[in-house]
Every structure is written in structure tokens, then in C-alpha cells.
Chain A
Amino acid sequence: MKVLFIGYSTAWDAMAAALGYLRQPIDANPWFGDYNLEQKGAIEVGVDRLGREVYVLGSSRPQLVKKVVEELIKVGYPRADAVEVIVLQLPGQKRVSQMLRLARWPLLGTISKQYIAKWAAKQGRIWWQTGQSLSLKIK
């Protein structure tokens, strides 16, 4: 069984919540805020206390990705017991997605990256705590 956290960004909201879920420190983690992760698919972050591999994924349409995964399960691959999908609904999450679009621009990129890093440092704690509370709910 794999656990998949889907947020608007692999490196920010999904990563922070997954690290909180795994009770790993957010500040020292080199992946938190790594823009290169945005171009990749699902990234393994660690293993939870139930021995399940935890992955993070960012998408501009998290609900749509969840729907596609559920549809894939319906047609047979992957099996229903192979993956648990958690779509994150966190404060300020939508702004991450919007800022990430700006971060791709050559001139605005640097400014927006600085802004998002500062802003996400504040939000990250909340996302991380949300992940922690999820770890108590998820069995």
C-alpha cells in the first residue's frame, strides 16, 4: 500500500503536509521548496508508521488527478488496496499554484520565488501541522 498526498505543488503544500504526516522536520528537509520537483511525477518522501510508502504530487487540478486515479482503480490498475489518495485542502494552497506559474517567468521568477519562499515558510508550519493531524486520523 502506498499513500499519495496530492496538493497544488509537489515541493510546497504536498511536501510540507507529507513531512508533517511522517513527523519529520520541515526546515531541514532539502526537498521542501525545491522547484525542480514540480516537473517530476510522484516523489517518495518516506515510510509511515504502518510501513506504507508515502508519496507527494503537485498538480494544478488535484481533484481531477484523484478522479483519474479512482477511474484507473475501477478499470483494474492499480488495485484498490495498492494506493490511498489524499487530496489536500489547506489554507493558502491555491496561491502556491498561482505563484508557481509566475516562478517560471525569467524576470518575475526570482521575485516570485523569494516571495513564495517567505510566504510558504509561514504557511509551511500550518501545512505541516495539518499533515500531523492527518497522521492521527489515518489508520
Chain B
Amino acid sequence: MKVIYHCFGGSHSSVLAANLHVGNLSIDHFPTRRELFNLPYFDRTTDDDFGIIKLVGFDEWGNQVYSLGQMHLGHRFHTIIKSLLTVTGTDNQVALMGTMPHVNLLMMIGGNLSRKRSLPSLGRPLLYWGTRLAYPNIIQAVQEVKNTLRLRGIAG
């Protein structure tokens, strides 16, 4: 089973969710600035990374957990990819989860300044506080995915 978290740039919320899923981040406390910005792929992707599925790690059942940047495909992305998986008969092998609904304005502005405008010194503080605010919602989304996997009895 593959679990893919996707967001606009594949750099922040999806990376955060994937790291929460595999246990690299604690659900009990928010990571320090250093822990957050040292996460693999977090706030590090470039335009070339759009569409690339990056392995973040493995969860407790051995499922591979990935992050992905969907760019401007928006809500259509889920429909498109889900339908492709369905027509190839592999939709039960891949779980897709969009994290954009949990992204707040601070994260958007901070992420844009840091990645798109190459101004990390301005963007990262906003990103840090935005991520802090979004953290509980992203934890909840990840737990919902894990509950679904548990209910489906997916173990690897």
C-alpha cells in the first residue's frame, strides 16, 4: 500500500503530514524551528519537484508514505489521479490525501516567499507560525487516514 499526501508545492503541508504519519514528528508537541526545517524535503523543493512523488518513510504497518506537489491542478488533481488508478485497477493500492484544506494564509504567504521568491529569511518565520497554527488540523487529517487504513485492515 502507498499513502500519498499532496499539496500545492509538495514542500510544506504534505511533507508535514507524511512525517507525522511515519512518526518522524510527535503528535503531542509542536517541533522546534530546527526540527521542523531539518525535516527531509520540508521547505526545500524547487519547481522541478512538482509532480515528483517523494518517499518520506514507512508507517507502522510497512506502508510507504510519500509527499507530492500537485501545482495548479487543485481539486481536479484528486479526481484525475483517482480515476487513473481506478481504470488501471490499482485504486485500492494507493491512498491519496490532499492537505491543502488545512493550509492557512500564513503558510501560503510564508511558503511563497521562501520557495517562489527565494526569500527564506522573510518566509520562514511566517511559515513556522502558520504551520504551528495548522498543526492540530494536519494531525487530525493524518489520524483519519490512519484510522481508514486500520479499518481496511491494511498492513503493508
Chain A positions near chain B (C-beta within 8 angstroms):
2, 4, 39-42, 44, 53, 55, 57, 59-61, 64-65, 67-69, 71-72, 74-79, 82-83
Contact = CB atoms under 8 A, between A and B. Distances in A.
* Size range of the chain B interface in the assembly: 20 to 34
A60 B73 contact: yes
Contacts of A72: 53, 81, 84-85, 94
Contacts of A76: 2, 93
B66 A59 contact: no
Contact of B93 (A4, A42, A59, A77): A77
A41 B2 CA distance: 21
Contacts of B79: 39-41
B110 to A, nearest CB: 24
A40 B83 contact: yes
Nearest to A41: B83
A131 to B, nearest CB: 19
Given A60-B72, A61-B72, A77-B2, A68 B51 contact: yes
B154 interface: no
B86 A77 contact: no
Given A64-B70, A67-B51, 9 more contacts: A4-B84, A42-B80, A65-B73, A68-B68, A71-B52, A72-B94, A75-B55, A79-B88, A82-B89
A53 B87 CA distance: 9
27 contacts: A40-B79, A41-B80, A42-B87, A44-B87, A55-B87, A57-B83, A59-B80, A60-B72, A60-B76, A64-B73, A67-B50, A67-B51, A67-B52, A68-B53, A68-B70, A71-B53, A72-B53, A72-B81, A72-B84, A75-B53, A75-B64, A75-B66, A77-B93, A77-B94, A78-B85, A78-B88, A82-B90
Contact of A57 (B55, B80, B94): B80
B108 interface: no
Interface in B41-71: 50-53, 55, 64, 66, 68, 70-71
B82 interface: yes
A76 B66 CA distance: 13
Interface centre among A64, A67, A74 (most CB of B within 10 A): A64
A83 B71 CA distance: 23
Contacts of B53: 68, 71-72, 74-75
Contact of B81 (A39, A40, A68): A68
B73 A61 contact: yes
Contacts of A65: 73, 80
